[in-house]
Chains A and B, each alone.
Chain A
Amino acid sequence: MSAYISIADVTKFFAGTSGRIDALQNVNLDVPAGEFLCLVGPSGCGKSTLVFIIAGLVKASGGEVRVGGEPVVEPDPDRTMVFQGDAVFPWMTVAQNIGYGLRYSGMPKAKQDETVKQLIHLVGLTGFADAFPKELSGGMKKRVDLARAYATNPTVLLMDEPFGALDAITKEKMQVDLMRLSVTDTGQRRTIVFVTHDLEEAIFLADRVAVMTPRPGSIQVVLDVPFPRPREASIRLSREFQALRGQIRGLLVTEEEEN
């Protein structure tokens, strides 16, 4: 398959208060259409910065990102994002949050309401349509966030440690839901770039895992995850799974020792 997201020689530096910070250096990565790619790396290596650049929220200092052949210049509802922090708008109800992107899609209002209703049901928030986020738990808010990112039916989904703040059980449930939802309305698989520091999460979800180097971040190696889908939660206990986890861990640890 050809690259749907193509990241070529992307470099990013920030003018920090104590001098220039090189966040990313010559990042090269191709993600084929429909792939679930997990991005792991030591903290501060530029994972968030890289997904922000793909989203069009941050401009690269050098290099180019193309999505579907087009250079990324600004955000587009065809490339939505789930953030590490809580990005659910507290002043909007669950339904208004989920329908936010649809307002700008040109979809007729009745169709928007219908879509929102379906999504609320899909992410298990039935009965909470008119609740404000303050009335929801962390896990429920993350579901709102996910549903909102799905609502515009994007071909690319960017996720920056979306489940990082959740407890283990909620997290596993969200992962299973994510797999179930990662298909577009027309049955195509979405192309997903998913940042995580949880290696089990990465292996469980991904088709491939890209391991980054410490800052300035670049792609150290991209590993295939051979497990067939649909995957059961129990594959985490298999020897192959644990061997792969050990291998990635080894890559991350050596890096840290080198520093």
Chain B
Amino acid sequence: MKQDELANSADAAGEEATKKRRWITGEGAVSVITVLILVALWTALTDSYIDDLYFPSPMDTIQVVGRMEGVLVGYFLATMYRVVVGMLIGAVLGVVCGVAMSWNKWINSVLDPLIEGLRPIPAVALIPFFILWFGIGDTGKLILTAIGGFTVMVVTTLEAIKHVSPIYIMAARTLGASRLEIYRTIILPAITPTLIGGVRVTVALSFALVIASEFMGAQSGLGYMIMLARRTLQTDAILVGVIIIGITSWIVDRFVRIVGNYLTRWAPRSE
């Protein structure tokens, strides 16, 4: 029996090594081809049927990056600051409150109506209020983003804690763990995979909230840039903004996934 198990794990290790040696897989190659076809199609269409006024060609788009380089970096950093800081504040508070609510029923009864009241309201609907209260600077945008992330993470945390298998908690109790220790050594690791999923939702939401609030009132940021470009019909600048947002959002998501995979390296995965 043991022999078999050892043989199996050796097989698995071998497979993994083969996977790493090849620099691109068949599936990867297909995805690259898809992208190339899309770019070709884009070039062809903007050269012929589509007016620059509605959609820029790839060439225009690349040129505008060179032209705008100076402001672009500043706008990019302004947006990233709002996304990252707002998201971190919201996510951390969300997890802390979720854990506290499951820890103590009084904390739960205080916070539950607040969260239930907040949850059905799309955070974007609050932007006008935030502009009224905090102006068009960073504060309002940070709070708005934090509220969005908070709502997602508090709900995710509560749901995840509810679904921790009671058998783990019972086992820990019979082995002498205190309640605090059970939270630290059982509940937190057990909910981590679900929390990572929540963080990924939060990342996407935070980008959406920051860009939307930059549309409505700002003096910097990619959303602000897109808004200006729309007024002056610079579709190439709009597209550059959109592409930068898309790429950064993807990179941040990728980063969360990598960190998440490391933190949950113990979890069985279906490929």
Contacts and interface: CB of A to CB of B under 8 A. Distances in A.
A30 B181 CA distance: 34
Interface stretch (B93-101, B117-125, B145-153, B166-174): B166-174
Contacts of A79: 174
A63 interface: no
B10 to A, nearest CB: 12
Interface string B171-215: 111111110010001100110100000000000000000000000
B174 A55 contact: yes
Nearest to B171: A87
A57 B170 contact: yes
A104 B1 CA distance: 34
A104 B177 CA distance: 7
B1 A89 contact: no
Main secondary structure of the interface of B (DSSP, over half): helix
Nearest to A80: B174
A90 B174 contact: no
A81 B266 contact: no
Contacts of B177: 100, 103-104
B170 A83 contact: yes
A200 interface: no
Nearest to A90: B266
B163 to A, nearest CB: 14
Q: For A75, A81, A92, which residue has the most chain B Cβ atoms within 10 angstroms?
A: A75
Contact of B5 (A52, A140, A169): A140
Q: For B172, B176, B264, B268, which residue has the most chain A Cβ atoms within 10 angstroms?
A: B176
A89 B186 CA distance: 8
A104 B267 contact: no
B170 A134 contact: no
Interface in B1-22: 1-2, 5, 9
B175 A100 contact: yes
A170 interface: yes
Contact of A91 (B1, B167, B178, B189): B189
Interface of B: 1-2, 5, 9, 165, 167-168, 170-178, 181, 185-186, 189-190, 192, 264-268
Given A101-B175, A133-B266, 6 more contacts: A56-B174, A80-B174, A89-B189, A90-B267, A104-B175, A140-B5
Interface of A: 52, 55-57, 74-77, 79-81, 83, 85-87, 89-92, 100-101, 103-105, 124, 132-137, 139-140, 148, 152, 169-170
27 contacts: A55-B170, A55-B174, A57-B173, A77-B174, A79-B174, A81-B171, A83-B167, A83-B171, A85-B165, A87-B168, A87-B171, A89-B168, A89-B171, A90-B267, A90-B268, A91-B189, A91-B264, A91-B267, A100-B185, A103-B177, A104-B176, A105-B176, A134-B266, A136-B5, A139-B1, A140-B5, A152-B176
